[in-house]
Amino acid sequence: MAKTVLKTNQKTEMEDRSSLKGTLASVFFLGIFIIVTWVSVYYLFVDRF
Amino acid sequence: MITSTAAKVKVDPRDAKLSMAHFFVAFSALALGGLMGLLQTLVRSGKWELPWGIDYYQILTVHGVLMGLVLTTFFIMGFQYAAVSRTTGGHSSAARRAGWIGFWVMLVGTLMAATMVLLKEASVLYTFYAPLKAHWIFYLGLTFVIVGSWIDGAAQIMTYARWRKNNPGQPSPLLSFMAVINTVMWIVATLGVAATVLFQLLPWSLGLVDTVDVLVSRTLFWYFGHPLVYFWLLPAYMCWYAIIPKIIGGKIFSDSLARLSFILFLLFSIPVGFHHQLTEPGIDPAWKFFQVILTFMVVIPSLMTAFSLFATFERYGRSKGATGLFGWFRVLPWGDARFIVPFIGMAAFIPAGAGGIINASNQMDQVVHNTIWITGHFHLTAATSVVLTFFGISYWLVPHLTGRRLTKAMNKLAIIQAWVWFIGMVFMSGSMHIQGLLGGPRRSAFSTYGGSEQAAEWIPYQIAQAVGGTILFLGIILVLIIFVNLAFFAPKGEEEFPVAEAENPEEKAPMVFENWKLWLGITAALILFAYTIPFIDIIQNAPPGSKGFQTWSKW
Ligand code: HEM
Ligand SMILES: [Cu+2]
């Protein structure tokens, strides 16, 4: 029992160290931000011209 | 072990002196240019008028020239000169002599141009568009600045070439490589502005010819004008890629990725000038569209940079035991001015970049073209991302060069400085963006436009800009206090010049990155492809030339 707990702990830590999950989330956030601003000005454009 | 010896590596004191000479000019330009910026926002609020017959467009010229051309060029040349010295082991005396000659030629040119602006002989704004006509000494001064920057830049190239010769088969030090890319891009770009100044504007202002081809001169200007903004940005990227990782205690995510992104900037920054002329008649829309496509290519290295910075931060945070999706963010050294000042600059690049993509989107440019949105945009890119990074660099580089230390008190003041700048810019740039979307023009003193209803809508935003401008000016005063302290008064000691190492040093950058024949060849091919046919068309179908105009009040 105790052994399994130890094993899972170690596994998560290993995964965490080399993980770039946060980077992936950040670039997605960046992409979404760019698209949202672009689309809002695009609607302004469509409205005016 | 290697890191601790590297930390002690100093810029040769003889090179330090030349870098500092550049910085004195740069920070003097900041002081004067910042005051003009404040006055502009006060005038535009409609609550205040310039005394003694000083004209709005005169101070706007002073601001644009000092901030956009003088502060940037002098700071960049001083920083890159020091970075090359630091990473190659110092300049030769020949290179150092070239650096000094370049510096003095640039300074003389700056003073010539400045004198003409102060005499109201050159209120032509920093883009000096024909048919606005300045005194010939103004254009000659600009020629000196350009030629001086070539000589100054040659110093970096000479030292880089010597290093390559002494270390055959080795990739050059990353910071030197980046500095040389930027200098080479600058030289290729300034050929355009040199051509219009030498062959069009100088003969015309001297009275040797009566008229000028406006479209040709504007096209040559923007052939230079877009790479100009990347010339400002790349030194900031040098800090983000190759210096910041060391400051936080991490590693460069990938040395090769950094080099590749710089090469992409060299290739795609130049053949895109038409994106500043999208609303201009006389250029075939198909060629405008082609250059818009090339413009969007620049998005690639920009996003590569964003990715690699996030990755550096996350790797570092996780090595410190941070967990979860964003735990790494919290363990970054938020109390270190050398980190947080440029970091605020990086953050500002997110809205700045998003705005840039809107500007470049061919038809959508009509929404924002020549509105104060554009001014809001480049006060995020140049006047926040770039200059905050430059300030962050000078907070360790100046004491490094003068043999002093950044004290705890100054570190704290520097952090306050950056936040003051950020808050001021949220007000100023934010309201400029909104006013621009409501149609408010840039490059305009206060006017109610004959009591127009639409113009009345803009006034609250202009007042917000004055509030922001006042806060920003406080920020400039803080920068100057810190700079003078670090140059003359801070306690003697050793301040590190941080240079980061790659995460995988055994992975050598491919030597093809140093193949200048290849990259310059592709650069030239892209430029020729993007410009030859439309340029011939512009010349063959040119309207009659224009005589000169002086629209501003004289003393
Ligand atoms: C105290 C800080 C600053 C304030 C209050 C300020 C304010 C302004 C304002 C109000 C304008 C536009 C006026 C108009 O279009 O009529 C302007 C233009 C400009 N600013 Fe700034 N600015 C500041 C700092 C900077 C910095 C640090 C840079 C560059 C690194 C910069 C570069 C420019 C440039 C290139 C222009 C364009 C001039 C032109 O259109 O000819 N500014 N500034
Ligand atoms: Cu551009």
| Helices of type H across B89-213 | 93-118, 136-166, 174-196, 202-205
- What residues of B are in contact with residue A23 (Cβ under 8 Å)? 307, 310-311, 314
Q: Exposed, middle or buried, B4 (CB in 10 Å: 0-12/13-18/19+)?
A: exposed
Assess whether the C-beta atom of B131 lies below 6 angstroms from ligand 1. Answer: no
> CB-based contact (8 Å) between A32 and chain B?
no
What confidence score (pLDDT) does residue B4 get? Answer: 40
DSSP 8-state assignment for residue B269: S
Is position A1 within any domain?
no
Q: Which residues of chain A have pLDDT under 70?
A: 1-16
Do the domain assignments include residue A49? yes
Contact B513, B177 (CB under 8 A): yes
Q: Is B37 in the pocket of ligand 1 (CB under 6 A)?
A: yes
Distances in Å between the Cα of B461 and the Cα atoms of B12, B49, B480 are 49, 18, 28
B353 Cα–ligand 2 center, Å: 12
Distance from the alpha carbon of residue B424 to the mean position of ligand 1, in angstroms = 13
Q: Which pLDDT does position B465 carry in this prediction? A: 95
Show the tokens assigned to A39.
């689309």
Of B311, B319, B350, the CB nearest to A33: B350
CB contact under 8 A, B303 and A27: yes
Closest ligand to C-alpha of residue B296 is 2
Nearest CB to A45 within list B353, B354, B363: B363
Tell me the shortest Cα–Cα distance from A2 to chain B, in angstroms.
Answer: 23
In a domain, A35, yes or no: yes
CB contact A29 to B (< 8 Å): no
Q: Which residue's alpha carbon is nearest to atom 15 within ligand 1? A: B443
Q: Structure pTM?
A: 0.91
Domain range enclosing A47: 22-49
The token duo for B535 is 């340029």
pLDDT, tens digit, 9 for 90 and up, residues B322-358: 777 787 888 888 999 999 999 999 999 999 999 999 9
Q: CA B260 from chain center: how many Å?
A: 20
Q: Per-residue pLDDT for B5 more than 50? A: no
Binding site membership of B59 for ligand 1 (Cβ less than 6 Å):
no
The CA–CA distances, whole Å, from B151 to B183, B431, B477 equal 11, 41, 32
User: Tens of pLDDT along B12-30?
Assistant: 888 899 999 999 999 999 9
Write down the mean pLDDT value for chain B.
90
Residue B486 DSSP label:
I
Are B263 and B244 within 8 A, CB to CB?
Answer: no
| pLDDT score for B157 | 94
Tell me how far CA of residue B156 lies from CA of B107, B151, B152, B192, B451, in angstroms. 19, 9, 8, 22, 55
Q: What is the pLDDT of residue B155?
A: 93
Residues of A in contact with B279 (CB under 8 A): none
- Contact between chains at B325 and A48 (C-beta distance less than 8 A): no
pLDDT at B132: 92
Q: Chain B residues contacting A, CB < 8 Å?
A: 303, 306-307, 310-311, 314-315, 317-319, 323, 325-329, 350-351, 353-355, 357-358, 361, 363-364, 366-368, 437
B33 C-alpha to ligand 1 centroid (Å) = 8
* Residue A5 in domain: no
Beta bridge partners of B404: B492
For ligand 1, atom 41, which residue shows the shortest CA distance? B125
Q: What is the pLDDT of residues B245-304, one digit of tens each?
A: 999 988 888 888 889 999 999 988 888 889 999 888 888 899 899 889 988 988 888 888
B437: distance to nearest CA of chain A, Å? Answer: 9
Dihedral sign (CA B99, B104, B105, B111):
positive
Residues 6+ apart with CB under 8 A from B402: B16, B20, B486, B487, B488, B490
Question: What is the per-residue DSSP string for B49-106?
Answer: --STT--HHHHHHHHIIIIIIIIHHHHHHHHHHHHHHHHHT---HHHHHHHHHHHHHH
**Residue A3 falls inside a structural domain:** no
Residue B41 has pLDDT above 90, yes or no: yes
Residues B223-260: tens digit of each pLDDT: 999 999 999 999 999 999 999 999 998 888 888 888 99
Cα gap A3→B271, rounded to integer Å: 63
B375, B380, B427, B471: residue to mutate for ligand 1 pocket, most atoms within 8 A of CB: B375
Does A9 fall in a domain? no
Query: Which residue carries 């096209």 as its tokens?
Result: B219
Whether pLDDT at B2 is above 50: no
Cβ-based contacts of A44 with chain B (< 8 Å): 367, 437
Residue-level pLDDT at B58? 92
B103 C-alpha to ligand 1 centroid (Å): 25
CA-closest candidate to residue B237, choices B65, B373, B393: B393
Angle (nearest 5°) at CA B36 between B31 and B41: 130
pLDDT at B148 over 60: yes
Q: How confident is the model at residue B314 (pLDDT cuts 50, 70, 90)?
A: confident
| DSSP reduced 3-state for B371 | strand
At residue A1, the pLDDT reads 44
Token pair belonging to B304? 């590569």
- Terminus-to-terminus CA distance in chain B, angstroms? 65
Interface pTM (ipTM) of the complex?
0.81
Residue A34 lies in a domain: yes
Residue B203 structure tokens: 């003969």
pLDDT at A14: 53
Which among B329, B383, B540 has a CA at the least distance from the CA of B64?
A: B383
pLDDT of residue B481: 96
How many angstroms away from the CA of B340 is the closest CA of chain A? 18
**Residues of B carrying an active site annotation:** 226, 230, 377-379, 442-443
Separation in Å, CA B226 to CA B156, B180, B189: 23, 18, 9
Protein residue closest via CA to atom 27 of ligand 1: B383
Highest mean pLDDT of the ranges B95-104, B440-449, B502-511: B95-104
Torsion on CA atoms B438, B444, B447, B453, rounded to nearest 10? -10
Residue nearest to atom 20 of ligand 1 (CA): B64
Q: Domain tally for chain A?
A: 1
pLDDT surpassing 70 at residue B185: yes
Here the contacts of B279-288 (C-beta below 8 Å, separation 24 or greater) are B279/B365, B279/B366, B279/B369, B279/B370, B280/B215, B280/B218, B282/B215, B282/B538, B282/B541, B282/B543, B283/B215, B283/B219, B283/B534, B283/B537, B283/B538, B284/B534, B284/B537, B287/B530, B287/B533, B287/B534, B288/B362
- Å from CA of B464 to ligand 1 middle: 15
Q: Does residue B41 contact residue B470 with C-beta atoms inside 8 Å?
A: yes
What integer pLDDT is reported at residue B136 of this predicted model?
A: 95
Q: Is 90 exceeded by the pLDDT of residue B320?
A: no
Alpha-carbon distances, residue B402 vs B85, B276, B399, B406, B483 (angstroms): 15, 41, 5, 11, 11
pLDDT at B513: 83
Residue B278 three-state SS: coil
Residue A13 belongs to a domain: no
Q: Are B234 and B174 in contact (CB under 8 A)?
A: no
Average pLDDT over residues B298-316: 87
Burial class (CB within 10 angstroms; exposed 0-12, middle 13-18, buried 19+) of B149? buried
Q: Give the integer Cα–Cα distance in Å for A35 and A49.
A: 21
CB pairs under 8 A between A and B: 65
Q: Which of B76, B379, B551 to mutate to test the pocket of ligand 1 (most atoms within 8 A of CB)?
A: B379
